[in-house]
Amino acid sequence: MPGFTPGRRWQPAYSPFKKENFGDRALQVLEYSVKGPLFGCRMCGNCLLQETAFICPMECPKGLRNGPCGGSTSEYCYVDKTRPCIWYKIYERSFQLGREELLLEVLPPLDWEKVGQDSWRDIFRNVAKIGYKKVVNGLLSSPVNLL
Ligand code: SF4
């Protein structure tokens, strides 16, 4: 079970739809080898960990990226009663970490062009655009300041 994702049951990672070069493939393997054990990452290519209190929303059997659904309860998932609703866990941890304001954001659906690919490249690109100093200062002050 990954260290930072409660209620995890194994689900396979996505594979890219396109044939990719060695460098891209190597980055995907590296990202999966780090985020798989830590977060149960499924390589959706559109990472939302920052917004979901570092719990992967792709744990949801319905793959909901804005949850919870109408049938779940605080005790169990609507689809599989043997596991907790991952969206309840996301809400709980968001409040524990003081990141509840991030839950007000409507999260985008999967971009299927990116599914199976790494998301680190986009993060590095955005950090470079914003400026490393500003990002580090934001991380050290408040998570909501990054918005
Ligand atoms: S949101 Fe996507 S990229 Fe981020 S940990 Fe979950 S499956 Fe991996």
**Is the pLDDT assigned to residue 139 strictly greater than 80?**
no
**Is the pLDDT assigned to residue 64 strictly greater than 80?**
yes
**Is the pLDDT assigned to residue 33 strictly greater than 90?**
yes
Is there an atom of ligand 1 within 6 Å of 49 CB? yes
**Sign (positive or negative) of CA dihedral 49, 66, 147, 52:** negative
Is there an atom of ligand 1 within 6 Å of 35 CB? yes
Task: State the pTM of this model.
Answer: 0.82
Domain coordinates of the chain in residue numbers? 22-140
- What mean pLDDT is reported for the chain? 88
Which residue's structure tokens are 């909501």?
144
pLDDT score, position 2 = 61
Is there an atom of ligand 1 within 6 Å of 85 CB? no
